[in-house]
Amino acid sequence: MAVKSIAIYPGTFDPVTFGHLDVIERAGKIFDKVIVAVTDNIAKKPLFSAGERVELLKKTTKNFDFVEIDSFQGLLVEYAKKKNAKIILRGLRELSDFTFEFQSAVINRKLDSEIESVFIMTNPKYFYLSSSVVKEIAQFGGNVSNFVPVEVEKALEKKIKKG
């Protein structure tokens, strides 16, 4: 029986953008299974709860049969072990992303020598795109339809109206 390649794509996904979906779709051409794993970044205060982010990801990736959506807390390498994954997938937009991701990859490798990090360059049309930018535009009433799927756009409108 052939071993299936499983990659974990961790992130806050607050909210999921077309850039994230681009990385997920392209990862599906490389890996048998991509686990999109929602987590919290202690340096950020998310707009959406982890459960809401999981639901938005499920809605926006429903056509990708290779994707599993999950959430976790704690060390990524420990989560990877639980999921029998040896690959951590990260998207890169710019040089500053690489600097941060390179450091994270080295640390993850020190924590578990069997973990490999794989980087996918974001499509150039999404280099500028981040969840933070999308939230800021939405909070000022701007149109985010070029940055996120319609399900996310509606969730942003609803969340911001609640205040």
Give the residue numbers marked as catalytic. Answer: 20, 44, 93, 131
| 3-class secondary-structure state, position 34 | strand
Asked if residues 12 and 40 have their Cβ atoms less than 8 Å apart, the reply is yes
Could you write out the DSSP letters of every residue in 77-110? HHHHHHTT--EEEEEE-SHHHHHHHHHHHHHHHH
Burial class (CB in 10 A: 0-12, 13-18, 19+), 162: exposed
Asked if residues 103 and 117 have their Cβ atoms less than 8 Å apart, the reply is no
* Closest by Cα among 68, 55, 64, 74 to 14: 55
Cis peptide before 15 (omega within 30 of 0): yes
